Amino acid sequence: MLALAALVALAGLAVALISPHVDKAVNEVTLPLRHDDIIRQQARDKRVDSALIAAVIYAESRFVPGRTSRSGAVGLMQITPATARDIARRSGGTAFVVEDLDTPQVNIAYGAWYLRELLDRYDGDVAAALAAYTAGPGNADRWGGSRLRSQDIPFPETRAYVRKVLDTRERYRRRYADELGY
């Protein structure tokens, strides 16, 4: 009986020691987070929810560096070179080159800047800002602008994107509260 109690205690200790590592491994697969220092800094600087930035990165690239879309969008937040040039010009950037979008600091800074601009344009309406982020402001304007509801988005892909990012934002808030500065 004593041996059984010792075995149970040892098993409990093993679970306690292994569990945080298993949780971290599961998070890496199901909901990865990288560059949380950059995300927190840009969230503060641009007044954008850090979990929203993380959720957009997750939806756009799953935090995999070096991604380029069929439309030519680049990096973690999948920013097109044309949008990046416009952001650089309007935000005072003087030495921007497209290759800079491969740098997490630049890509996240530009993506956060663009999210802030869209949130301002749509009076803080996150669904409208996300619709504009993925489908363009012209489409988001036609769909109702700041009065847009995700269920009213006529493009199924855009509607699914908005819902996915909103859901993922909540998951990041819960799972990575400390890392994202909550």
Residues belonging to the active site: 60
28, pLDDT greater than 70:
no
CB contact at 8 A, 144 and 78: no
Q: What is the tens place of the pLDDT at every residue in 99-108?
A: 999 999 999 9
pTM of the model: 0.85
**CB count in 10 Å sphere of residue 79:** 26
Spans of all domains in the chain: 1-30, 34-175
Q: What is the tens place of the pLDDT at every residue in 151-170?
A: 999 999 999 999 999 999 99
CATH number of 34-175: 1.10.530.10
d(CA 96, CA 52): 25
